[in-house]
A and B are shown apart, each in its own frame.
Chain A
């Protein structure tokens, strides 16, 4: 057992949060939090650098007994799929601290502590190789997220926080029962790899599939259990929205990839049509809802539902292109939608309005801001040359191969995306300047630029040269497919 790199990635933010408790000045708190996230990002880059893309085996594994009487271990490890999200989490963690630098002006210390604890737990979710440990991380996230939304959110924050908490909790508890059932059916162990190797009878798989589905569908969120999302996203502070959209939503999809598909392959194949239909529904319905929004943040929130529909569509296409596209799209959505929430936050800090109707002609007032907004808007609508194009193309081609109707619906969704995103950009950035007349607002400063640039780099990088990213997930996806079709009997 070598250097505990993953433990460090998970616990450095937690230790940072503990240190923050003893600091007094807000400024020191901000700097320390920034330092902690930089360290975490550096560690995750070191992890990627040492990552062997040729194998699907778990890497950097650590195992220690935790509760031996119940077969619970403290086990961490990553494969290609989780590696990508460990990095994404670390990246967005840094950006969240930057985004909250001045936006959070009261109880700064408590906010940063919550943010860092949140980051530790999210890293834990992606690294956990023990189901019990996974569940502890997964569920513990409710506490800091509840506080982030409820204490630092907008006017309807309390309602949004309750809704988020109860929705997610109700979803997770059934997952917990599923986990325990799996424990007794899989030889009394919580080891994810050992459980994956089990061959469960179909009726057990079916039940578990639905128990898991409830938890993961709420997190993704899939229609019809998506109604917590607009509230939570709109009310949360900018950093909260970035975490929610960038990482939390990915966890539902990650759950499908890590548990539903490999552990319940027959059920996954059997119910894939239903999942495709739900995904197509989310794509179209989310897009239609986004089209009707006059609040910037709500629009981005509903667009997330649509985009996550693409992700689940790709996953349940259950073929190589679909899966790779879905996973890449998870990463892309984290980058792009995280950036869009950041942009909404930046302009809201200046004008204190999110209503699209209040804006116009921003291009003349804040040219740099609008230029980058254009980049991320185009990325969100999957323009060729941007990251989402690669992901969506793979998803669509996988989706068409799996089910013609689902693919067709997804294309409609892509068109809707162009409609609401371009419409939003036109109303906000083009035309006569309406905001400049009422507000004197400044363009992005260096700190904000530091938050924007890395995201912009990934938009272009993945868009033009996605190979390194696909390389990371390749071996793991191929193995996953073999597991699904090997045990699921092909398609």
Chain B
């Protein structure tokens, strides 16, 4: 690698470098922050992300391949990186008060989130199975630790342990698939792999490798049949981390899935059948099991499985519209899901956990404004217009029908009717019950700002989707 190439590579990955450097600095500086001064950490972390975001934007003008084909900074990656920035910043803002209440507000918390962010960014840009692996591990190891951050709570410990064990197994499976690919084709680059996979006749060993790789990735987005960790981890983790995991790492997983499977060569093959089956099963399981949940976080865990299923429908559709629909779906999901999680986080105050749906009975009576926001998020998650959630689903359906998969589209919407039930059930509890106690939500200005921002996104993208749609369509790779 020449010096010029190295410089170009460094330039292409400058945002990642900045986030990692910032995290390292914060790791040291964080030790000097005294108790009661934790807001410095929040603002410093937000600043790191913002600097990275500006850098990303400045470099977004052209496609920059880097590190001898292992990494690329293209518009596709830029789109996903902005989803990650958004998710991370909002998580920081939501964390301030919550971390105080739970006593987890030390600098490691923020540093780990930043490292997780850098891992996700690498995943979005990776074009080689090994660089995907590096990003993936960087991300998940941080989330393992963050899941177990409530050290005195057995649920949190249990969740972290489960997550580590299952996560390690899935990573192992993924790596085994990678090694098979390398052994059979002599390359770990996605393009090379795609060429081999679509060759005729297909090497049965390669098929096995693809199955392993799929299994590893499906685990990360929490799709059937590797979804078992999701409810326990989501329930046990600190709620802010649950919120983060439900949008950031999930989007990162989808970025990789899109790169691997919507490579034009693979997209032309019959892989979509497997993807479609996974989509149907994931959405069905998430929707039906969520019907009987009483714990808000568990319900949102199943809801996130169900949404992952809907997004996978977009992957099955393939093509430029299919890819764009998944990207737009993830962006919109970030807004509405962080919004509803923000509401859950805000409820955690004093003795109230805010985790049981019944805790919200009659909330509309004393807090009509906040109740209205929750209504907005919930109807958006259910996919009712004019919210953004509707447009997200609509575009996925357009992509499906465009490809000729009308039956899949019908299955998707019917399952979303099932899913609508548990969202409107929460609305019912909020609006149609009498309050049993006084509410005291932890409403700091930061939480307010987050809720306002996510609500603006949820209704704004719903009413004026044109710009965001174009953005997603322009960010499709190869397009």
A66 and B466 form a contact (CB under 8 A): yes
A150 and B428 form a contact (CB under 8 A): yes
**Complex interface bits, B150-162 against A, C-beta within 8 A gives 1, otherwise 0:** 0000000000000
Partner of A165, one of B375, B386, B420: B420
**Complex interface bits, A168-205 against B, C-beta within 8 A gives 1, otherwise 0:** 01100110110011011000000000000000000000
- Chain A residues 107-144 with CB under 8 Å of chain B are 110, 132, 135-136, 139-140, 142-143
B368 and A110 form a contact (CB under 8 A): yes
A169 and B469 form a contact (CB under 8 A): no
- Report the nearest B residue to A68, measured CB to CB: B466
List chain B residues, Cβ under 8 A from A437.
Answer: none
Which residues of B approach A to under 8 Å, CB–CB? 364, 368, 375, 379, 384-386, 390, 394-395, 397-398, 401-402, 406, 409-410, 413-414, 416-417, 420-421, 424-425, 427-428, 431-432, 465-466, 469-470, 473
List chain B residues, Cβ under 8 A from A166.
Answer: 417, 420-421
Q: Given the known A-B contacts A147-B431, A174-B410, are A180 and B398 also in contact in the complex, defined by CB atoms under 8 Å? A: yes
- Report the nearest A residue to B425, measured CB to CB: A162
**Complex interface bits, A64-79 against B, C-beta within 8 A gives 1, otherwise 0:** 0111111000000000
B417 and A69 form a contact (CB under 8 A): no
A173 and B401 form a contact (CB under 8 A): no
Q: How far is the CB of B442 from chain A (nearest CB, A)?
A: 25
Q: Which of A151, A158, A169 has the most CB of B within 10 A?
A: A169
A169 and B397 form a contact (CB under 8 A): no
28 contacting pairs across A/B (C-beta < 8 A) = A66-B466, A70-B395, A70-B469, A110-B364, A110-B368, A135-B385, A136-B390, A150-B428, A151-B431, A151-B432, A161-B432, A162-B421, A165-B420, A165-B424, A166-B420, A169-B384, A170-B414, A173-B414, A176-B394, A176-B413, A177-B401, A177-B409, A180-B397, A180-B398, A180-B409, A183-B398, A184-B401, A184-B402
| A485 part of interface (Cβ distance < 8 Å) | no
Say whether chain B's binding surface is mostly helix, strand, loop, or mixed. helix
| A250 part of interface (Cβ distance < 8 Å) | no
| A341 part of interface (Cβ distance < 8 Å) | no
Complex: how many Å from CA A165 to CA B305? 23
| A87 part of interface (Cβ distance < 8 Å) | no
Complex: how many Å from CA A146 to CA B423? 13
List chain B residues, Cβ under 8 A from A307.
Answer: none
B466 and A69 form a contact (CB under 8 A): yes
A161 and B414 form a contact (CB under 8 A): no
Interface residues on A, range: 20 to 34
List chain B residues, Cβ under 8 A from A67.
Answer: 465-466, 469
| A157 part of interface (Cβ distance < 8 Å) | yes
List chain B residues, Cβ under 8 A from A151.
Answer: 431-432
Complex: how many Å from CA A180 to CA B385? 16
Complex: how many Å from CA A135 to CA B414? 17
A173 and B417 form a contact (CB under 8 A): yes
List chain B residues, Cβ under 8 A from A184.
Answer: 401-402
A136 and B385 form a contact (CB under 8 A): yes
A177 and B406 form a contact (CB under 8 A): yes
Say whether chain A's binding surface is mostly helix, strand, loop, or mixed. helix
B406 and A150 form a contact (CB under 8 A): no
List chain B residues, Cβ under 8 A from A173.
Answer: 413-414, 416-417
Please list the 9 inter-chain residue pairs (A to B) with the smallest Cβ-Cβ separation, ordered nearest first: A173-B413, A136-B385, A180-B401, A67-B466, A170-B417, A150-B432, A140-B385, A139-B385, A177-B409
Complex: how many Å from CA A140 to CA B425? 17
B421 and A136 form a contact (CB under 8 A): no
B428 and A177 form a contact (CB under 8 A): no
- Report the nearest A residue to B376, measured CB to CB: A143
List chain B residues, Cβ under 8 A from A162.
Answer: 421, 424-425, 428
B417 and A169 form a contact (CB under 8 A): yes
Complex: how many Å from CA A67 to CA B395? 12
Q: How far is the CB of B374 from chain A (nearest CB, A)?
A: 13
List chain A residues, Cβ under 8 A from B379.
Answer: 143
B428 and A161 form a contact (CB under 8 A): yes
Query: A136-B386, A177-B406, A180-B401 provided; 13 other pairs, C-beta below 8 A?
Result: A67-B469, A68-B466, A69-B470, A139-B385, A142-B384, A143-B375, A146-B424, A150-B432, A162-B425, A169-B420, A173-B414, A174-B413, A184-B401
Q: How far is the CB of A121 from chain B (nearest CB, A)?
A: 9
Complex: how many Å from CA A157 to CA B368? 20
Complex: how many Å from CA A459 to CA B431? 38
Complex: how many Å from CA A452 to CA B417? 39
List chain B residues, Cβ under 8 A from A136.
Answer: 385-386, 390
Q: Given the known A-B contacts A69-B466, A140-B385, A146-B424, are A158 and B417 also in contact in the complex, defined by CB atoms under 8 Å? A: no
A69 and B469 form a contact (CB under 8 A): yes
B384 and A139 form a contact (CB under 8 A): yes
List chain B residues, Cβ under 8 A from A147.
Answer: 431
Q: Given the known A-B contacts A139-B390, A150-B428, A150-B431, are A181 and B406 also in contact in the complex, defined by CB atoms under 8 Å? A: yes
Q: Given the known A-B contacts A170-B417, A177-B401, are A158 and B394 also in contact in the complex, defined by CB atoms under 8 Å? A: no
List chain B residues, Cβ under 8 A from A66.
Answer: 466
Complex: how many Å from CA A342 to CA B386? 31
B428 and A140 form a contact (CB under 8 A): no
